[in-house]
């Protein structure tokens, strides 16, 4: 039986612990919430449970569709065993509708349909505010070569297809979302991090009500209720 070891890392939403297997770590999801690169902070009660359960369901679904992930198994409501990876310092954003920073940056109406899913890269650097970068920027920074970028695009669009098709059966629109990828010890690129209301924009397909972290960002209220509603729709489970 794997033993939980020392804490290796604590981020905005998760803690990571070593195990007695050098290639496996335990992720512990927190209720802490941040927005605007950490400028806004708070707590969303039950968020860690929601994000853990939802992410794991999505990881299982994505694996079943031939896309490798870091997921190994669920340990508890808040803890999951995953493969240890070296994170590629690029956030990969897939957009199906115009929203958030892209709508603001390009003067587009929020909710406008895009003619096709759009992939963007953001440089993972908190001090710089995770800026949007072009392929040339990524080349100059030496973050990921062209074949790696093509792999990230292909995998991200594959994830989009799987998750979007699943969610529409739950009357949810996948507006956009952020993914992170990492390399395992043997060099394989896998999907990592999480897929949750923290990292996705989810809208009710009928009412267009926001069911994600935008409720926290924009002080819309009913934040915990939105997270719980998404978990209910995705997993069928409820918070105790």
| Kind plus residue range of the DSSP H or E element containing 120 | strand 113-123
Of residues 71, 74, 231, the one with CA closest to residue 167: 231
Give the 3-state secondary structure of residue 35. strand
**pLDDT-derived band of residue 36, with 50, 70 and 90 as boundaries?**
confident
Specify whether the CB–CB gap between 76 and 183 falls below 8 A.
no
pLDDT tens digit sequence for 3-28: 899 999 898 899 999 999 999 999 99
Give the 3-state secondary structure of residue 166. helix
113 alpha carbon, distance to own chain's centre: 21
Task: Locate the domains of the chain by residue range.
Answer: 4-83, 86-222
pLDDT tens digit sequence for 164-206: 999 999 999 999 999 999 999 999 999 999 999 999 999 999 9
**pLDDT-derived band of residue 31, with 50, 70 and 90 as boundaries?**
very high
Q: What sign has the CA pseudo-torsion 160, 164, 166, 167?
A: positive
CATH topology for 86-222 is: D-amino Acid Aminotransferase; Chain A, domain 1 (3.30.470)
Q: Which CATH number fits domain 4-83: 3.40.50.10540, 3.40.640.10, 3.40.50.300, 3.30.200.20?
A: 3.30.200.20
Q: What's the distance, Cα to Cα, between the start and end of the chain in Å?
A: 28
Specify whether the CB–CB gap between 211 and 222 falls below 8 A.
no
Angle of CA points 224, 230, 232, to nearest 5°: 100
Other CB atoms within 10 Å distance of the CB of residue 126 = 10
The partner residues of 80 in beta bridges, in order of sequence, read 27, 74
Of residues 81, 77, 83, 115, the one with CA closest to residue 98: 115
Specify whether the CB–CB gap between 30 and 46 falls below 8 A.
no
């Amino acid at each position: 039986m794997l033993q939980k070891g020392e804490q290796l890392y604590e981020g905005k939403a998760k803690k990571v612990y070593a195990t007695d297997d050098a290639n496996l770590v335990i992720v512990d999801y927190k209720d802490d919430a941040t927005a605007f690169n950490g400028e806004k902070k708070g707590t969303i009660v039950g968020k860690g449970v929601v994000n853990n359960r939802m992410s794991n369901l999505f990881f299982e679904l994505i694996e079943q569709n031939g896309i490798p992930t870091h997921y190994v198994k669920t340990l508890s409501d808040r803890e999951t065993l995953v493969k240890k990876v070296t994170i590629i310092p690029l956030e990969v954003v897939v957009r199906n509708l115009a929203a958030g920073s892209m709508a603001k940056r390009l003067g587009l109406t929020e909710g406008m349909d895009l003619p096709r899913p759009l992939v963007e890269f953001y440089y993972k650097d908190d001090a710089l505010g995770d800026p949007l970068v072009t392929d040339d920027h990524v080349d100059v920074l030496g973050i990921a070569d062209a074949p790696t970028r093509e792999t990230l695009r292909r995998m991200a669009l594959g994830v989009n297809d799987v998750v979007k098709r699943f969610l529409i059966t739950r009357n949810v629109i996948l507006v956009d979302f952020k993914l992170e990828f990492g390399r395992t010890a043997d060099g394989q690129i896998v999907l990592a991090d999480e897929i949750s209301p923290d990292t996705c924009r989810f809208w009710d397909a009928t009412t267009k009500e926001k069911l994600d972290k935008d409720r926290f960002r924009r002080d819309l209220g009913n934040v915990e209720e939105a997270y719980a509603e998404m978990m209910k729709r995705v997993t069928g489970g409820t918070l105790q």
